[in-house]
Structure 1
Amino acid sequence: MTGPFWITATPPTPNGELHVGHLAGPYLAADVLRRFLSAEGHTVRLTTGLDDHQSYVPVRGLRDGLKGEEVADRYGAAIVAAWTDAATRYDPVVRPRSDPGYTAFVQEFFAALLTAGAIVPRTRPLPWCDGCERWLYEAYVAGGCPHCGAESGGNACEACGRPNECGDLRDPHCVVCGTAARLRDCERLYLPLAPFADRLASYWAGTRMPPHLRALCEVMLAGGLPEIAVSHPSDWGVPVPAAGFEDQRVYVWFEMAPGYLLQHPAPRPAPVQFFGFDNGYFHAVLFPALFMAYDPGLALPSAFVVNEFYRLSGKKFSTSRRHAVWASEALARVGADVLRWHVFTDRPTGRQTNFEPADLDHAREHLHQVWNGWLDRLLADVREHHEGRAPRERPDGAAWQVLHGRVLRAVAELREAYAPEGFDPRRAVALLDEIVAMAVDFGHEQAHERARPAGTHAAAVSGQLAVAALLAAAAEPVLPDGAVRLAHLLGVDPGRPVDAAALQPLPPAHPIRPADGAVFGRPPALR
């Protein structure tokens, strides 16, 4: 595990606020990896952007009586605010419509591939709506996926993850007015993927990715890699820099590839990319091919961390259909610790999982009863029996030796769950909960030592403080707000590495600050 590290989270579309499903996917998980690696002393850059030019933005505007720019600005600001409230930060957030040089670089990238012959013109059927007098692509069109038959939007199917040409959708219809579309020939620019087949296969063989994504790549390869339309007739997005196509815009998923390059100055390390499975084809097939065509020397992603769909009451979270629990509302109600705790315990890794609004209340109650309950008892003991200072006695005895060994084994597993090679935040949360549960049991059992004339209760308190100091480091990637508060109470540095050295007794007579409320899961108004 060597740095520097570059971590990316797929840019969200500002056609609505972030919902809990988004946070359960790439955004909070990427922050966990950043925090762990930063604590290890590595230089880490966590980046993302806003996907302003997705066609879902102007479609939302048509429904709400707003201009596309108004939609993008309103929800772009809300998305960045939600990241901040969820204790997540990015450096930078690329903004396509306002960052200087963005449009010029995307056009230069496109023109380079056009000049090299990687992009070619093709005339093929594209759906047209007579009522709206509009070409239909991506968010403007829906129909049956030509590969799996599921209801699909244009350009890519969320269900099976495979691309389409819009014109090959079954029974396409206009999303705006609902009428059946008719097919008309339209000349667009295409990227044939077949010339990259061997290089892509070699790249996939050496890249960490989950089996579901690998299966998608191999199925596409076995079926013959398609040609992908990289321009669409539209007035929303980056103008195509090619004569004869002035009325078209660069396909937004093509645009995202140079957008990623703008997130990190050269030289760029191989990134670790976080995204949902419905974005899998773009990140694992399209983008690597684009980077190969643009600059064969570019470092391609070393790993893909992929989440499946998070469902809400049995149905997929959806911004466009307004089937969601908005992140801003959930954060305002329960705070960052509780929301982060729950979405990691229920993270849709390798399978779809389901969210119910009451789940956040259960998570808050768990942190309050188990985690804060133990810390409250421990801090009260220190205040009442040790004058608010760490005992002079060192942890000792058979029970401590058992606890010490179990906690160290859990820490070793926790490091694996946090590290890029075995990243698994679900496992990390389970291990943190196990460490706390062991400390809870130890504290209850050792409390009886106070009744013995020669009891070792002070040594047991010292041992629990050592576990608490470890927790302040070990929990910070997952629950940064509470972990920093705990570090402050114990008088230890926040942001320490998650390793065995964090399990050290506090110095004798070391002052312990009294808690002024809940440590973990504190309500937002009291943060």
Structure 2
Amino acid sequence: MAKFNRYLITAALPYANGPVHIGHLAGCYLPADIYVRYLRAKKADVKFIGGTDEHGVPITITAMREGVTPQDVVDKYHKIISDSFSDMGISFDIFSRTTNPVHHETASAFFKKMYDDGLFEEHESEQYFDTANNVFLADRYIIGTCPNCGNPNAYGDQCERCGTTLSPDELINPRSALSDAPLVKKLTKHWYMPLQNYEPFLKEWLLDGHKEWKNNVYGQCKSWIDNGLQSRAMTRDSNWGIKVPLPDAEGKVLYVWFDAPIGYISATKELTPDWADYWCKDDTKLVHFIGKDNIVFHCIIFPAMLKAHGNFVLPENVPANEFLNLEGEKISTSRNWAVWVDDYVKDFPDQQDVLRYVLCSTAPETKDNDFSWKDFQDRNNNELVAIFGNFINRTMVLMHKLCGGKVPVFHQEIKDATDDALIAAIQQGRKNIEESLENYRFREALAEVINVAREGNKYLQEKAPWLLAKTPELQAANQQAIDNCLHLCLQLTANLAIFANPFLPFTAKKICHMLKVVDRILDWENAGSLKLVSVGYSLRPPELLFKKVEDEEVATQVARLHERRAKAEAAKAAAAGHTASGEVKPAAEPKATIEFEDFAKLDLRVGTILEAEKVAKADKLLKLLVDIGTEKRTVVSGIALHFTPEEVIGKQVTLVANLAPRKMRGIESQGMILMAENAAGKLVFVNPDAAVDAGSEVR
């Protein structure tokens, strides 16, 4: 393996249009910080680069929604994001901004060199134009009717009702989100990077040269390259961003995914005058930490840009994580279904390491994973409190009680096999943690830290020094055995501080404080040593490293999640209840009056959905098995655009039980489920507000 003399570690630049949530932390910032802290402990020459991405459509959309300027938006959220990272111990060497002058200069110069070298293609194409505002519109500024579900307010890139990915040309009656004006198409010129020209380089460098990359990263890149790369526009029509540095480019800015990764370079320039050592010398190891949605940009487009420009090192690895879900559902900022980092810090002061621990323990390293508040509670109480914290607290308490508050001597002449086993566990722990961290397996490394603490508890239980000191006479006779036990436990405590430091930095410092040792002890060269605390040295009284999370705290957080989502969906529904012109959407026309006898003909029953599956070749249909007490019925329901099969299993529903059977897609449907449609066009179940027996009659 190549020897690297310096390390350059980057973490994806978050958009400065909102705060960061736990999905962001778990995706790239926490693993990057763990890796950097480990490298620093090894005394490596390492720079950790971060910042906010302050250009692009999301910024301008947020500004429009909040009625402020884009600069106001990025100023506000840069501070919130920066403070959140700092509070959580994400230890950037610099946290910069893409609106800084040095970045504008760097990105402009990068583009201009590629342009001067003839590496761009110029193409004219027709794009939508808002005549009222005299601007070309990005996809998100175009709204219209979704061709899939009929949502009248779908965006030009996606319908948020049914989730379908769209292009502006697919919308029915597209219009401007800025003015509600009908759109026209006008010719516009842009500069494209012919990515297909870099396929041979990418195949050799990436597909042949980096087969050790994570499967999710390598597989996605291979699919893109195998399918053939196309020219991609590197400029956009906008007034917000880095202006294209050409005389005939009025109203055009650099594409945000051209501009943003150059932010790593410009931030390094801000950090050190020796920036070129980190970006241009072959003995630098460049590692990008990102989420899976950024893989193509960091593994194909940015490396192609670096290769085209010349003189820059290429990433040695891009250990991208998958997505973190929340309470079994996808995190959604628009529905406020998220745990925001700034809120967590307020609700759980001085417990940053608990969140770091849980997010690392459940990190989506190879597949999407889930965060739940119950799991947060269990991992804190059963692992941090009951294993890690318990061992250190017992050690410190017993040392003060049985050894006079001082580090006891170790008597080599009575060392036994149990002592040797603990010493071996410490040495093996160092080796296992180091190997896992070197290979970006952070969950595995953290599990090994807990395993070492578990070995400490096992050792302490076997030695049982409290039993050896049940009486003053017994203690006097067994003091050497007591000394050996607690001496090794104290050395293990110091080792646990070293092992845990990349993951739990606040906790590691607390342990150092109790042991009265300087932070220098956390250097990795000390890991595995049995001479970390000196014999005869007085130590501070024990303090609890972690406290239990109570049921009430969990219930409060879960309730808050649901309350926030309900408010967000209500606001969204209210907005969707207006047409683009601001008029309230008319309610459904009332139907003709019926007699009571007509209503009495309906047999409405409460049913429980036992099974659900999609109907083949029918996007809107689910096949359900519904228990109505006396029998189980097959019902075909047109709700597949609103619910997955997994979401409806166990739901109680109101069923029209005496509806004549009807065949749908070859399946006989024996009833109809009653549904309601809210103002946002979302279907909701008409069901009892408390569980009742299947088959109960609805009157």
* Common fold by TM > 0.5: yes
**Amino acid in the other structure paired with 1:330:** Y
Counterparts of 1:47-196 in structure 2 under 5 Å? 47-97=49-99, 99-128=100-129, 135-137=136-138, 139-140=140-141, 176=177, 185-196=187-198
Equivalent residue for 1:381, pick from 379, 395, 398: 398
Which residues of structure 1 form unaligned runs of 5+? 146-151, 158-163
Matched with 2:294 is: 279
Instruction: Give the CA deviation at 1:463.
Output: 1.1
Equivalent residue for 2:276, pick from 266, 274, 280: 266
Q: Distance in 2 between matches of 1:153 and 1:414?
A: 47
Cα deviation, 1:81-126, whole Å, max 9, x if unaligned, reads: 01110012212222122x3332122111111111212112212343
SS of the counterpart of 1:209?
coil
Q: Distance in 2 between matches of 1:522 and 1:113?
A: 57
SS of the counterpart of 2:277?
coil
SS of the counterpart of 1:432?
helix
Q: Distance in 1 between matches of 2:297 and 2:482?
A: 59
Q: Distance in 1 between matches of 2:145 and 2:430?
A: 48
**Amino acid in the other structure paired with 2:402:** H
Instruction: Give the CA deviation at 1:394.
Output: 4.2
Q: 1:143 to 1:510 in 2, by over 3 A?
A: farther
Q: Verify the 8 A CA contact 1:143 1:169 in the aligned structure 2.
A: no
Equivalent residue for 2:219, pick from 215, 234, 240: 215
Instruction: Give the CA deviation at 1:78.
Output: 0.5
Is 1:514 paired with 2:515? no
Q: 1:229 to 1:172 in 2, by over 3 A?
A: farther
Q: 1:365 to 1:215 in 2, by over 3 A?
A: same
SS of the counterpart of 1:266?
helix
Question: Once structures 1 and 2 are overlaid, which stretch shifts more, 364-373 or 243-252?
Answer: 364-373
Q: 1:176 to 1:201 in 2, by over 3 A?
A: same
Instruction: Give the CA deviation at 1:188.
Output: 1.8
- Number of paired residues? 506
Q: Verify the 8 A CA contact 1:337 1:520 in the aligned structure 2.
A: no
Q: Verify the 8 A CA contact 1:411 1:499 in the aligned structure 2.
A: no
Q: 1:435 to 1:144 in 2, by over 3 A?
A: farther
Matched with 1:312 is: 326
Instruction: Give the CA deviation at 1:318.
Output: 3.6
Q: Distance in 1 between matches of 2:544 and 2:143?
A: 49
Q: Distance in 2 between matches of 1:449 and 1:504?
A: 25
Equivalent residue for 2:489, pick from 461, 464, 468: 464
Question: Once structures 1 and 2 are overlaid, which stretch shifts more, 8-17 or 210-219?
Answer: 210-219
Question: Once structures 1 and 2 are overlaid, which stretch shifts more, 135-144 or 379-388?
Answer: 135-144
Instruction: Give the CA deviation at 1:132.
Output: 7.4
Question: Once structures 1 and 2 are overlaid, which stretch shifts more, 237-246 or 120-129?
Answer: 120-129
Q: Distance in 2 between matches of 1:340 and 1:169?
A: 43
SS of the counterpart of 2:288?
strand
Q: Verify the 8 A CA contact 1:16 1:320 in the aligned structure 2.
A: no
SS of the counterpart of 2:101?
coil
Q: 1:375 to 1:26 in 2, by over 3 A?
A: same
**Amino acid in the other structure paired with 1:257:** P
Q: Distance in 2 between matches of 1:228 and 1:143?
A: 25
Q: 1:237 to 1:100 in 2, by over 3 A?
A: closer
Which residues of structure 2 form unaligned runs of 5+? 147-153, 160-164, 269-274, 279-283, 550-699
Cα deviation, 1:104-155, whole Å, max 9, x if unaligned, reads: 221111111112121122123434567877533364468999xxxxxx9878
Q: Verify the 8 A CA contact 2:98 2:260 in the aligned structure 1.
A: no
SS of the counterpart of 1:88?
coil
| Greater radius of gyration (CA) | 2
Q: Verify the 8 A CA contact 1:257 1:291 in the aligned structure 2.
A: no
Equivalent residue for 2:420, pick from 385, 391, 401: 401
Q: Distance in 1 between matches of 2:548 and 2:176?
A: 43
Q: Verify the 8 A CA contact 1:235 1:249 in the aligned structure 2.
A: yes
Q: Distance in 1 between matches of 2:155 and 2:366?
A: 24
SS of the counterpart of 2:318?
strand
Q: Distance in 1 between matches of 2:4 and 2:16?
A: 35
Cα deviation, 1:330-355, whole Å, max 9, x if unaligned, reads: 12223211110011001011100111
Counterparts of 1:218-233 in structure 2 under 5 Å? 218-233=222-237
Matched with 1:323 is: 337
**Amino acid in the other structure paired with 1:514:** P
Question: Once structures 1 and 2 are overlaid, which stretch shifts more, 42-51 or 210-219?
Answer: 210-219
Q: Verify the 8 A CA contact 2:10 2:48 in the aligned structure 1.
A: yes
Instruction: Give the CA deviation at 1:240.
Output: 1.0
Q: Which structure exhibits the higher relative contact order, with contacts defined as CA atoms closer than 8 Å and separated by 6 or more residues?
A: 1
Matched with 2:603 is: none
Q: 1:226 to 1:459 in 2, by over 3 A?
A: same
Matched with 1:483 is: 508
Q: Distance in 2 between matches of 1:434 and 1:510?
A: 28
TM-align CA RMSD: 3.0
Q: 1:358 to 1:48 in 2, by over 3 A?
A: same
Q: Verify the 8 A CA contact 1:24 1:347 in the aligned structure 2.
A: yes
Q: 1:142 to 1:276 in 2, by over 3 A?
A: farther
Q: Distance in 2 between matches of 1:175 and 1:387?
A: 77
Matched with 1:502 is: 529
Q: Distance in 2 between matches of 1:125 and 1:426?
A: 49
Question: Once structures 1 and 2 are overlaid, which stretch shifts more, 85-94 or 69-78?
Answer: 85-94
Equivalent residue for 1:426, pick from 440, 443, 447: 443
Q: Verify the 8 A CA contact 1:96 1:103 in the aligned structure 2.
A: yes
SS of the counterpart of 1:391?
coil
Equivalent residue for 2:352, pick from 332, 336, 339: 336
Equivalent residue for 1:41, pick from 40, 43, 48: 43
Q: Verify the 8 A CA contact 2:139 2:168 in the aligned structure 1.
A: no
SS of the counterpart of 1:52?
coil
Q: Verify the 8 A CA contact 1:36 1:498 in the aligned structure 2.
A: no
SS of the counterpart of 1:35?
helix
Overall identity of the aligned pairs, in %? 25
Q: Distance in 1 between matches of 2:427 and 2:295?
A: 37
Matched with 1:17 is: 19
Q: Verify the 8 A CA contact 1:482 1:521 in the aligned structure 2.
A: no
Q: Distance in 1 between matches of 2:510 and 2:176?
A: 49
Cα deviation, 1:215-267, whole Å, max 9, x if unaligned, reads: 22211112211111111111111111123321111101101232222133102
Q: Distance in 1 between matches of 2:447 and 2:158?
A: 35
Q: Verify the 8 A CA contact 2:144 2:175 in the aligned structure 1.
A: no
**Amino acid in the other structure paired with 2:293:** D
**Amino acid in the other structure paired with 1:60:** T
Is 1:411 paired with 2:426? no
Q: Verify the 8 A CA contact 2:488 2:530 in the aligned structure 1.
A: no
SS of the counterpart of 2:192?
strand
